[in-house]
Structure 1
Amino acid sequence: MMKFLDRLAHQILAKKIAAKDLFIILPSERAKRYLQNALFQMNHGPLVSPQILTIDQWISDLTKKTIQHPTRTLLSLYNIYKSLFQEQALSFEDYLTWGPILLSDFDDVDRYLVDHQQLYQNLASIKALESWQIDEEAYSASQKKFMLFWELIPKLHGGLLKHLKETNSCTKAQAYRELATNPSHYFKPAQYFIFAGFNALSLAEQQLIKYLINAKQAEYIQDSDRYYFDNPFHEAGNFQRKNSTFFGLGAPDDLPDALRTATYHVKEIECAQHIGQVKVLATELYQNTHTDWSEVLVLLADESLVHAAIRNIPKTVGQANITLGLPLEQTPIRTWIDLCFQLQENHQKFRTKALYYKDFQRFCHHAFITIAFNQKELHALAKVEKHTVQFNRVFQRVDQLQLPNKLQELLELLNADWQADWQQGLTQLRKINSFLLLHIPEENDFERTALLSFETCCRQFELLFDDAFPEMALSSFKKLFYQHWTRAHLAYIGSPTEGLQITGLLETRLLDFEHIYVLGMNEGKLPPTNPIQSIIPMDLRSAFGLPSNRDKQGLFAQHFYRLLHHARHLTFTYTTTSEVLGSHEKSRYLLQLEMEWRAANPNVNWQTFYYQIPTDEQNQEVSAIPKNTAIQERLLAYLKNGVSASALRKFANCPLDFYYRYVVEFGEEEEVEEDLAASTFGSLIHACLEELFTPFAQKDKNGKRIEPAPGPVTAKDISQMLNTYPAILRKHFLKYFDQNATLFERGKNLLSFEMALDLTNQHLRKELDFVQQLHEPLFIEQLEARFELTQMVQIEQSQIPILFVGFIDRIDRIGQNGYRVIDYKSGKVKDEDVKMSAKHDAFTNLTKPKHVMQLCLYTLFFEAQYGQLPAEARIESLINVSEDFALSYDKNTDLSMIPKLFEDGMQALVAQLMDTEIPFSHNPEAKYCQFCT
């Protein structure tokens, strides 16, 4: 069986008409390329080709007027709308929500040759009835405005037609109407036209083709099959039957009957995961032994799979070509332009030209960046990003980032302020585009093609900047610009006729392939379920012959069924997962094929499969990690190199979380804190207190005595601190927010700052009351002091050394010998967090209360340094300031039992840690595991 375009080429070559007078009109650009190739092959070499045009190109060539770009028409209509509604007119941004829909309706009215006035009178009457009430004087202002809008629609359409006539221009739909109503003015007697492979035709197209057929200057060739053409109830043949009847042709005698007679091999594959469909495709293509890949089509019913499909094409395929007609917004262009506009929006939102950290992170990880720069440049960028997180840079000046020259240049282009000059903004976008095209390698043809298509959109949009361009806010400009460029589709990537073809459904019109893989055969994807957007009610549309949602379904049905004409091997995949939006049911087209087509054709070999990505390729939850020899060696090294009380308590709470955080060293993921976290909030208060009390410290952080020795802290000193602490606290907030005070002068951070002021005030007043009640002076011994202590723990026959490390926030002394060890906590503290009991063993006492292990260790640090135990070890909460939390054993704050209790408890803990019979496993009672749940 010959392919449709081969049959068409044969018919064209048989015509005895001069090439200059023969016109072949096709529905798609891609079909033109395939037909030209077929003519070359049929002729066994070059030939003088007839003129081959898409129907839109043909109409554009025939009309004597300039066809106006839809975006310019949208702007023209807004100006007409403003002149009619005057001060009652909505803003341009509001207009953009309904203006494109109204223009689409205007286009339908023209393409289907509808009487404007009659339609709009009916529409106004319907809307009047919807708002009708007995007392017309009781209409509200909004009701009156609503009814006025419907009454003015014919004036809007009329005003637009008048404006276009004055500028000798028209919309594409008006060009169709003009040619259909006055065809005799446009054609020469010697011209002959072949209209091939059309499906849904508007009334204007039908009238025009019928005129030429009746004039013996045209013929209409269907691309159809008797299976659905002869069935009056089959939606795939709906438009074909209507066209044949309208043209007075009846059923063609040479219509193929392949769907009922040919042999087909069909695989239906249900995929448990969305991405599993791409895995199936890769496997099928790898196992495909066919050498002629130009006979193989990958049809993406779900176009979101395009990037994954391209990345997973096996090398054995050789040449693979993306002729998808993929919407430009489904390429990396979308997220890139989103970033460009987000930068401008954040300039306005935060009233700063500095670079917001979230925008910088998006920049760092965008696909264009990873392919436009070399490894050395990307490494430098990663270092700056790490520095941003490490020092919590919420905002940074671009000129201070110290990036390599190319990166610095691009970031400066991106971050430049458009200053509400949208022509300047578009110029900036084009400069960025040029930069990327200059630096993205030639082999990245997908990304380069996307950028070139976007550049074409920008050039078209740039032509709109004239006197008619209305004033608008950034949000309006963004909406208008997005409506303009998101309509665009990718041009060809690779050869449109050679090698494996990856396409969308509309790109397959008139094309035939022997092997077809269809990915995404889910209801809602094929056929798509997005309804027609219109201000005209559906029943009124139907009454005037305008297309309905049902017509749209029939359109896609014919596109799909015609693919089966020449195919002999078909593979359909669909997903049943809920991990992506949309229906999880297989397409009704699949159900129709399985139930109806198989019954009509006994030669259909149908196989059903189920595919799930193998478990070794999926994320697996690890429940336990055995302590093999390598892990034991890492544990010994970890204990020897320095451990903290919090780390060992993490092991007691959840061994598996301890393993991930400290043995494997996943650590904690750092991120920029835009709103102050509780820990950071407490740290800033802590830093303020440290600065206030440092002048009174007897030793520096390294333990060296200060000479001359500072005096004690007096009530007068603390009273002075109450006057100076606000400025000091503000200084630390400024340092944290990179000297940008606006970041804590409003919103959550302002509340945090005011709360910090209040809590610091409370803490200092508590200190003041404490000093005033003392009978002996209070000395500050040391602040933020680092300590180390090595202890040996006996495990079976081995002595295991453990190096404990930690920082004691404050050591002070009352009188000559009343030493206190104090640790500040930014969170709320409870009594049970510092209480031990004779009812529990040493291990439980050490590990269960939240702060006991830390205070015990600090007590031992102090003993090793000072040769005696402190009089008290305590927690000072920066939240519940007024309460006291001293380490105690059955309410006794004497610390003499601490060394023995710590030794026994640590013996039990390390024994569990090193026990090879007990794997690292998750404790189901643990609430705050970061890695194991």
Structure 2
Amino acid sequence: MQQSFLEYVLHDLQQKGVSIPECTYVLPSKRSGTFLKKHMAQIIGKNIFSPTVLSIEDFVTQISGLSQASNVDLILELYSVYKKTEIKEHDDFDTFLKWGQTLLQDFNEIDRYLIPPNDILNYLSAIKELNHWSMQKDKSDLVKNYLALWNNLSTIYGTFTKTLINQQKGYQGLLYRWAAKHMDTGDSIFQEAPIVFIGFNALNTAEALIIQHYLDSPSNHIYWDIDAYFLDSSMHDAGLFIRNYKQTWPYYQRNDLEGIHHNFLSPKKISITGVPKSISQAQYVGNLLAEIQEATPDGIHDTALVLADESLLNPMLLALPSSISKVNITMGFPLNKTVLYSFFLSFLDLQLAQSEKGWFFEDVLTFFSNPFCLLLSSSEKVDALSSIANDIKQHNRLYLNHPYLERYSAQSELLGLLFPANPTTPLDWIKRCLQLIQKLKTIGQEQNDLMELEYLYRFHKLFNQLKQHIESVNFIKQLKSVKSFFKQLAALETTDFIGEPLSGLQIMGMLESRNLDFETVIITSVNEGILPAGKSGNSFFPFDVKREFGLPTFKEKDAIYTYHFYRLIQRAKNIYLVYNTEPDVLEGGEKSRLISQLLTDKNISRYISHSIASPELKIDASPIPQIEKSNLLVEDIRTFASNGFSPTAITNYIRNPMDFYKKNILKIYDTEEVEQSIAANTFGTIIHDSLEVLYSPLINKVLEKADMESLQDQIPKVVSSQFAATLPGVDINKGRYLLVYHVVLKYLQNFVDMEMVQLQKHEVKILALEEKYESTLHIPALDFPVKLKGTLDRVDQVDGTIRIVDYKTGRVEPSHVKIKDWDTLISNYDKSKAFQLLCYAYLYFSKHGTETLIAGLYSFKNLRHGFLQFSTSDTLINPETMRTFEKYLHQIILEICDPKVAFAEKES
């Protein structure tokens, strides 16, 4: 590989006669300092004491004499200052967190760029005064309070910065302003060794002032990493800042710009590839790395994988080929991306969700489903959480209260931590989290899970930090404030990966690549909105105010990323740019303008190839899913047949043979779930059971009007008792179940009213309710017994004719119980209601041998149609009808039992 930028700097210093070990080196980042020391060791070739190598932030911090305060300290201090301002109504801490971080960022910017704070903050206040929404001459209290914040910004800034300086600490911008103000301090610190500034680009005003101050000394040097191709073009953003320094710095009136190169137009391979979605990018890069490794095994050690979108780190790690043995990851993994974070956040949400009724089942089940919750519960002698989860589903418990939980708490210490008896305070929650960490630590040590133990250690530190801060202030009293605070802390904290920084594949973010050169560079997510990032709203200063006062806008930030992009590829020989062809709102826009710029640059276009990578799609005609009947399956079918076919089971087969196989043979039922609004089958159960309770005293009795009037009075009490039996965990006195309760009442009242009208013209006698029937079928082609079984909702006698009645709570149309073509009975599921009625009639005939009867149903959603009676050419069902039905019944059962006929999925 050709000479890197850092090697060039060291060789140039040698040629100038500068003693490399005696210099102080200032670079944009600590990472580039590590590589500088590596090259230094190679060039000098002997043991030396390492010279001072500083990042620009450490350099400025030493000059300022202040220490960097943590973000948490800054937020708490800023809120304390805000609370002391003369504003009538202050936001609570939770609300303040939503805008306090943005205000802190703005303070940071005006200090880094040495803007007179009073000027810009009073200017902003005046703008808010002009822009407020009230046009009335006399402002309301709401408007006055809104404007009071902006009018007090200058006071808040002054008090805040003064407090921090008195404590000998500050945020980054304050350190920069203080250092620029006290550069004489730096003169005493760095007065002996020559200072070499290396590889800077976009300097803030404070940095530019400090660097120019040190460049007044002839022994100090500055090297820019810039290609002449970008510097000489007045339109190219990659050279925007350095061109400006060359024109405006007095230093360059007597000195040449050092660090200009001519590498960008040298022969190279630039491969631009569009890949659909983020995970596909990771998979594509994984395959690409495998190819690089296979082609030149040593080449992977001079390869950088730059993630423009750092959220791609986790899928990228999973996609790395196993052949790559050494990987160094510069970026840390944020704690808020871990499963452990979701565990603690879910635990906090569980406490926040507690109401007078207790804990809502969804919040409980969501928390219980977290892997760490399952781990904790399974490690106890009794897995109480699984027992509770099963009980919630079986008994439809919508809320869990303390009397209920006390049944299990004696068996489980964990329950006492998760479901405290008293309201949870912020400190209570933190202490419980620390106790949970200790339990998880014990489990992690037993399982030797080093990664999880590292995460636990980080969270242990975080909770102790949180505890310390909450104890030191008096305004964090609500759990919702702790939630916002915890989320901010977890977003700022990272777990660092341990690796060898100078060998193996280098995975980094865009900013970590500063000053570093690699032969092969892979950059992912080269999309608009990611690279460059584009506009962002994390500032109270409008665009025109930033331009007026010299603060950077999104245009300057775009130029920064343009420089990093081009600097990274200018010396590389193999460049792979990968972008997302299917972006959405959260993942950035179309392919980056940087790609378009490369594609339209005639001077380098001969080195570029552009393609779209997508998985190969083969659309084959999918075979119809089917299950061949093995000997074991045939045996299961025989067992099922001997136990008895129900009408529902046979109609399941008619609808879809695969459904029959899954539900009736394999016994695979729908997942048991808690019903927030009543399920159709539960609704039907309550209707059926209520009718059975109501009409049971009237069996073998001719119905009279007085009986119906008595039933009307009993309906509310009976329905209430059926709800209690079927859904013991619900409250029918409020909410949606109150509505369902009244719907059931209305259905039953309408049915009894209809029955009362019928009694005026007909004599009705109840013969049986919910009576179970069973009949053995004689099918000559089968050498094993087959039964038909079913439960008849009601059998009565109307004017001397036997009537079989089925209740349906869903909507049934009259056409569903009429048969014109008998073949449709076992081929068309729409006729399933007719099939069921004939099954019930067949069972009744088999037992009682009556000459004729009628069969039909009541559809409670369609009661206006009255009794929907089965009919063919005749409304009466007679022995001839039964013989015809028996033929079709045997035919469908023979098909089910035939070993040669597979269970096949029926197309809908």
**Does TM, scored on the shorter chain, surpass 0.5?**
yes
Conservation of the 8 A alpha-carbon contact between 1:356 and 1:396 = yes
Q: Note the C-alpha offset of 1:178.
A: 0.8
Alignment partner of 2:365 out of 348, 354, 360: 360
Partner in structure 2 of residue 311 of structure 1: 318
Conservation of the 8 A alpha-carbon contact between 1:236 and 1:555 = yes
Distance in 2 separating the partners of 1:624 and 1:687: 44
The superposition leaves residues 771-804 of structure 1 with CA deviations (integer Å, 9 ceiling, x where unpaired) of 798757534x3526374654638xxxx6597956
Conservation of the 8 A alpha-carbon contact between 1:264 and 1:567 = yes
Distance in 1 separating the partners of 2:573 and 2:406: 60
Secondary structure at the residue paired with 1:137?
A: coil
Matches within 5 A, 1:121-520: 121-130=122-131, 137=137, 142-165=142-165, 167-188=167-188, 189-216=191-218, 218-244=220-246, 245-246=248-249, 248-249=251-252, 252-261=257-266, 263-287=267-291, 288-289=293-294, 290-292=296-298, 293-333=300-340, 335-348=342-355, 351-354=356-359, 356-357=361-362, 359-361=364-366, 363-364=368-369, 366=371, 389=393, 392-395=396-399, 413-416=417-420, 419-440=423-444, 450-466=455-471, 468-471=473-476, 473-520=478-525
Conservation of the 8 A alpha-carbon contact between 2:23 and 2:51 = yes
Q: Note the C-alpha offset of 1:176.
A: 1.2
User: What amino acid is the match of 2:742?
Assistant: E
Matches within 5 A, 1:749-764: 749-763=737-751
User: What amino acid is the match of 1:855?
Assistant: L
Conservation of the 8 A alpha-carbon contact between 1:843 and 1:909 = no
Distance in 1 separating the partners of 2:756 and 2:845: 28
Partner in structure 1 of residue 25 of structure 2: 24
User: What amino acid is the match of 2:872?
Assistant: Y
Partner in structure 2 of residue 88 of structure 1: 89
The structure-2 alpha-carbon separation of the partners of 1:359 and 1:54, relative to structure 1 and needing over 3 Å to count, comes to farther
Q: Note the C-alpha offset of 1:543.
A: 1.4
Distance in 1 separating the partners of 2:89 and 2:453: 46
Partner in structure 1 of residue 819 of structure 2: 836
Partner in structure 1 of residue 677 of structure 2: 675
The structure-2 alpha-carbon separation of the partners of 1:815 and 1:493, relative to structure 1 and needing over 3 Å to count, comes to same
Secondary structure at the residue paired with 1:339?
A: helix
User: What amino acid is the match of 2:834?
Assistant: V
Conservation of the 8 A alpha-carbon contact between 2:825 and 2:834 = no
The structure-2 alpha-carbon separation of the partners of 1:753 and 1:628, relative to structure 1 and needing over 3 Å to count, comes to closer
Q: Note the C-alpha offset of 1:568.
A: 1.8
User: What amino acid is the match of 2:741?
Assistant: F
Q: Note the C-alpha offset of 1:632.
A: 11
Partner in structure 2 of residue 860 of structure 1: 842
The structure-2 alpha-carbon separation of the partners of 1:715 and 1:364, relative to structure 1 and needing over 3 Å to count, comes to same
Distance in 1 separating the partners of 2:803 and 2:574: 83
Conservation of the 8 A alpha-carbon contact between 1:842 and 1:902 = no
Conservation of the 8 A alpha-carbon contact between 2:751 and 2:863 = yes
Where in structure 1 are there 5+ consecutive unaligned residues?
Answer: 698-709, 927-933
Conservation of the 8 A alpha-carbon contact between 1:862 and 1:869 = no
Partner in structure 2 of residue 531 of structure 1: 536
Conservation of the 8 A alpha-carbon contact between 1:76 and 1:468 = no
User: What amino acid is the match of 2:317?
Assistant: I
The superposition leaves residues 745-778 of structure 1 with CA deviations (integer Å, 9 ceiling, x where unpaired) of 4432332233234334444555677679875753
The superposition leaves residues 616-667 of structure 1 with CA deviations (integer Å, 9 ceiling, x where unpaired) of 7xxx797541768558995896487255444544554566776777789875
The structure-2 alpha-carbon separation of the partners of 1:775 and 1:734, relative to structure 1 and needing over 3 Å to count, comes to closer
Q: Note the C-alpha offset of 1:382.
A: 7.7
Distance in 1 separating the partners of 2:535 and 2:414: 38
Conservation of the 8 A alpha-carbon contact between 2:382 and 2:412 = no
The structure-2 alpha-carbon separation of the partners of 1:43 and 1:376, relative to structure 1 and needing over 3 Å to count, comes to farther
Are 2:603 and 1:600 equivalent residues in the alignment? yes
Distance in 2 separating the partners of 1:226 and 1:210: 23
Conservation of the 8 A alpha-carbon contact between 2:854 and 2:870 = yes
Q: Note the C-alpha offset of 1:276.
A: 2.4
Distance in 1 separating the partners of 2:416 and 2:534: 43
Secondary structure at the residue paired with 1:248?
A: helix
Query: For structure 1, which segment, 136-145 or 192-201, has the greater mean C-alpha deviation from structure 2 after superposition?
Result: 136-145
Distance in 2 separating the partners of 1:471 and 1:373: 31
The structure-2 alpha-carbon separation of the partners of 1:646 and 1:141, relative to structure 1 and needing over 3 Å to count, comes to same
Q: Note the C-alpha offset of 1:273.
A: 4.9
Secondary structure at the residue paired with 2:521?
A: strand
Q: Note the C-alpha offset of 1:858.
A: 1.8
Distance in 1 separating the partners of 2:245 and 2:509: 25
Where in structure 2 are there 5+ consecutive unaligned residues?
Answer: none
Distance in 2 separating the partners of 1:388 and 1:506: 51
The structure-2 alpha-carbon separation of the partners of 1:579 and 1:525, relative to structure 1 and needing over 3 Å to count, comes to closer
Conservation of the 8 A alpha-carbon contact between 1:418 and 1:425 = no
Partner in structure 2 of residue 684 of structure 1: 686
Conservation of the 8 A alpha-carbon contact between 1:855 and 1:887 = yes
User: What amino acid is the match of 1:291?
Assistant: P
Distance in 1 separating the partners of 2:413 and 2:576: 48
The structure-2 alpha-carbon separation of the partners of 1:453 and 1:517, relative to structure 1 and needing over 3 Å to count, comes to farther
Distance in 1 separating the partners of 2:728 and 2:13: 73
Conservation of the 8 A alpha-carbon contact between 2:698 and 2:766 = no
Secondary structure at the residue paired with 2:25?
A: strand
Partner in structure 2 of residue 118 of structure 1: 119
Q: Note the C-alpha offset of 1:101.
A: 1.6
The structure-2 alpha-carbon separation of the partners of 1:41 and 1:183, relative to structure 1 and needing over 3 Å to count, comes to same
Q: Note the C-alpha offset of 1:282.
A: 2.5
Are 2:611 and 1:609 equivalent residues in the alignment? yes
TM-score, normalized by length of structure 2?
0.84
Distance in 2 separating the partners of 1:334 and 1:860: 62
Secondary structure at the residue paired with 2:353?
A: helix
Aligned length: 891
Conservation of the 8 A alpha-carbon contact between 1:821 and 1:870 = no
User: What amino acid is the match of 2:624?
Assistant: I
Matches within 5 A, 1:565-714: 565-577=570-582, 581-583=586-588, 585-596=590-601, 599-601=602-604, 605-615=607-617, 624-625=623-624, 630=629, 638=637, 641-642=640-641, 643-650=645-652, 652-653=654-655, 668-691=670-693
TM-score, normalized by length of structure 1?
0.82
Distance in 2 separating the partners of 1:665 and 1:572: 53
Q: Note the C-alpha offset of 1:328.
A: 3.8
Secondary structure at the residue paired with 2:576?
A: strand
Partner in structure 2 of residue 3 of structure 1: 4
Distance in 2 separating the partners of 1:123 and 1:333: 42
Query: For structure 1, which segment, 808-817 or 356-365, has the greater mean C-alpha deviation from structure 2 after superposition?
Result: 808-817
Distance in 2 separating the partners of 1:544 and 1:237: 22
Q: Note the C-alpha offset of 1:553.
A: 0.7
Partner in structure 1 of residue 729 of structure 2: 739
Secondary structure at the residue paired with 1:347?
A: coil
The superposition leaves residues 81-102 of structure 1 with CA deviations (integer Å, 9 ceiling, x where unpaired) of 3443543334444333322222
Query: For structure 1, which segment, 541-550 or 303-312, has the greater mean C-alpha deviation from structure 2 after superposition?
Result: 303-312
Conservation of the 8 A alpha-carbon contact between 1:355 and 1:398 = no
The structure-2 alpha-carbon separation of the partners of 1:746 and 1:397, relative to structure 1 and needing over 3 Å to count, comes to closer
Partner in structure 2 of residue 704 of structure 1: none
Q: Note the C-alpha offset of 1:184.
A: 0.5
Conservation of the 8 A alpha-carbon contact between 2:271 and 2:577 = yes
